[in-house]
Structure 1
Amino acid sequence: MGFAVSDELLGTVVPIVVYWIYSGMYMCLGSFENYRLHSKSDEEEKNLVSKLTVVKGVLFQQLLQAAVAILLFTVTGGHAGASSQQPSSFIVLASQFVTAMLVMDTWQYFLHRYFHENKFLYRHLHSRHHRLVVPYAFGALYNHPLEGLLLDTVGGALSFMLSGMCPRTSIYFFSFATIKTVDDHCGLMLPGNPLHIFFRNNSAYHDVHHQLYGSKYNFSQPFFVMWDRILGTCMPYSLEKRAEGGFEARPTKEFKED
């Protein structure tokens, strides 16, 4: 007698497993000093929260996300569109992915930007994420629980519902979104990284945002940079080699003068 696992459960659990496996891989690569955006000493000295606290915070947020995901699948009856089966057409599947990516990017850009512009929300919610001045992989989802609920969980729910994807498709989409989010916070610029080839929104782009000079720029996450470009919040940067090894994302001259 076989044990069947529903797509709804997989769509909830698999992205969490992917998060820790993928971030764990990056933590193992953290000793590659020639590809780090910050030195290990900077990571230890500048960050305002311990790694143990980060792990606990991320696990708590993932627990909340799982509860909301199960509730969402229950309310929608297991599907958001016309069919609960994975589409056989690649074009339909691709359109659902792109739609979900655009919905998630739009939601996260405007809410993320508002968290910065509203002093109360920044102080009491979003500042927790920026305790990681030097981002690292498993700190990608280190947020205030309420921010995580609004920014990530609600954004994910909207992406799922408005794209019309089924639970099976959501397994792949949310796993991919998780990989992209972890990659943006990994603190490494590895040569040949396909995510850096196909997306301008990479670890260096987001690292600029985590620095003091970039707190009013580079709000886009996790996929495209379109809203930053359209609304003038994109801070261009150059990737310079540090004398002690590794890279540094430095804002361009015209932004230094503004």
Structure 2
Amino acid sequence: MVFGLSDEMLGTFAPVVVYWIYSGLYVLVGKFGSLDAYRLHPRAEETKNIVSKGTVVKGVLIQQAFQVAVALVLFLLINDDSQNAVKLQPSLFVVVGQLMLAMFVLDTWQYFMHRYMHINKFLYKHIHSKHHTLVVPYAFGALYNHPLEGLILDTIGGAISFLISGMNARTGVFFFTFATIKTVDDHCGMWLPGNILHVVFDNNSAYHDIHHQLYGSKYNFSQPFFVMWDKILGTHMPYTLQKRKQGGLEARPIKD
């Protein structure tokens, strides 16, 4: 129990709370004009987004409502109160292995589902295009999707990763929270110095920004952790970070 909440309740609600706290920090950071040098798009380019930020907030809250409902059912199904009151926790080695497996499963699920939503013209037009109304991504728009896409890619993908990895609810708290942080960071629209996520992962805000541009819509489908499937299946678009003449940074594709 933490703050009077069970591991199951933390695993359900912590990702939601962390989503708004972490994206809120990026909103605050974005207020500082002195940090515009680290933006991947000038402020003026935000007019390319054809959806209001208020609509984005509502859309994210709807997705998170589905996410909470599925998580509650998932934890209810795996929670067996008939077992010993004191639950043995796996070793650190086992936990790390479970987390790595869960990351691989989630990446695999999201790559193929995400790519198919681009290939299938009906799914792209009526479902996935909603996410791409954010041509200039920002942090709290990370989960702005059609509810069906959110259910398939994020909620079901997370549940499958959780079940296949065999992790318990306590480990699930860390996995789902970290996946949330990573997703928000990938859509933050900034390349801040010292960001450890950009150092550890090739799949980052610049990598995903390429995908949100028209020239990159058929590339960089991988999310949220690694880029292996893009590299294996030929949808990897490498890039270089360069300074824009009007200020800030730009992730420019490297042409062969």
Task: Give the TM-score normalised by the residue count of structure 2.
Answer: 0.94
Q: Cα deviation per residue 1:116-166 (whole Å; 9 max; x = unaligned)?
A: 000000000000000000000000000000000000000000111001111
CA RMSD in angstroms, aligned pairs only: 1.6
Runs of 5+ consecutive residues of structure 1 not aligned to the other structure = none
Identity across the alignment (%): 67
24-33 or 231-240, which moves further after superposition?
24-33
Of the three residues 102, 107, 110, the one matched with 1:108 is: 110
User: 1:76: how far off?
Assistant: 2.2
Moved over 4 A (4+): none
In structure 2, do the counterparts of structure 1 residues 56 and 86 end up closer, same or farther at CA, with 3 Å as the change threshold? farther
What letter corresponds to residue 95 of structure 1 in structure 2? G
The one-letter code sitting in structure 2 at the alignment partner of 1:16 is V
Q: Distance in 2 between matches of 1:192 and 1:3?
A: 31
**Partner of residue 18, structure 1:** 18
Shift of 1:175: 0.5
Matched, 1:7 2:4: no
Q: Which of 134, 137, 158 is the matching residue for 2:136?
A: 134
Equivalent pairs counted in the alignment come to 248
Contact preservation (8 Å) 1:34, 1:246 = yes
1:252 Cα deviation after fit: 1.2
Instruction: Select which of 35, 39, 42 maps to 2:38.
Output: 35
| Unmatched segments (≥5 aa) in structure 2 | none
> What is the TM-score normalised by the length of structure 1?
0.93
Indicate if the aligned counterparts of 1:58 and 1:143 stay in contact, CA closer than 8 A. Answer: yes
Q: Once the 2 structures are TM-superposed, how far is the Cα of residue 190 of structure 1 from its aligned partner?
A: 0.7
Q: Which shows bigger deviation, 236-245 or 213-222?
A: 236-245
In the superposition, relative to structure 1, how do residues 118 and 8 fare at CA in structure 2: closer, same or farther (>3 Å)?
A: same
Question: Which has the larger displacement, 186-195 or 68-77?
Answer: 68-77
* Equivalent residue, structure 2, for 1:53: 55
Find the aligned partners of 1:233 and 1:121 in 2 and give their Cα distance: 19
What amino acid maps onto 2:26 in structure 1? Y
Give 2:224's aligned residue.
222
Q: Aligned AA for 2:44? A: S
**How far off is 1:35 after superposition?**
0.1
Shift of 1:192: 1.3
Q: 1:87 aligns with which of 76, 89, 103?
A: 89
Q: Given the alignment, which residue of 195, 201, 204 partners 1:202? A: 204
